[in-house]
Amino acid sequence: MQAKYEIGILGGMGPLATVDLMNRITEYTFSDNDQGHIPTITLSNTLIPDRTDHICYGGQSPVPYLNKSLSELDMIGVNRIVIPCNTSHYYMKELKRNTKTRIINMVEETTKYLKKTITDDKVVILGTEGLIKGNVYQDFLMNYEINNYNLEVRDQEMIMKIIRKIKAEGISRRVEESVVNVLMELDPTQSMYYVLACTELSLLKDFLIEKGWNIIDAMDMLAISAIKESDYKLNLEKVHKYYIDL
């Protein structure tokens, strides 16, 4: 059976991040009419249990909920699936066993881009407590021989508070100031590269770039990979605003 849609988005983790990915896929696709955009369907399953709560504190597993959503996308018919939640990639091996549809791995795509563009500079992964403790990026960083810097416990706790604040209230000046305070204390010369490895933090991309930070956004890597794999053209004017070498 021919798939009805090129891309299936398994979202809801969180809802704002899901909408943000939809916007980026649309913005980064080159087209001058509706029909030139990518046929995409979004399943925003907000009932999926918290990933960090499960990884770090033994809370309810999100895997059955993720698998149910994957099955629903399979039944609808999609050529590839994207999951705009970095921490959910902790379960990737289990998820791949439960679908025949390709899942684009945003962690792997982000790490491949880091390898291509960064040489001796240190990389800082900004993400949830579950992402860090689950070593979601670590294996890929080691395989690609990328030098990363681990946040101190206090700084990681602050990043986690910021993520939860965005989930609850969206972006605010207080959130922006909190992120800048963490980064300035860590890297006052703005010499390191920062991966926005939580899709809530991805909502801060433009603000952080304007403030002079070296930002690579995993959400962008996912959107760009989905477009390219769907065999659609990138809107290079929009993409090159952030990434010259794509």
List the catalytic residues: 85, 198
Angle, helix 218-229 to helix 15-27, in steps of 10 degrees: 50
**103: part of which helix (H) or strand (E)?**
strand 102-103
Question: Strands 102-103 and 78-82: what pairing?
Answer: parallel
How far is 117 from 203, CA to CA, in rounded Å? 22
Separation in Å, CA 109 to CA 2, 180, 211: 26, 26, 25
Q: CA–CA separation, 34 vs 204, rounded Å?
A: 28
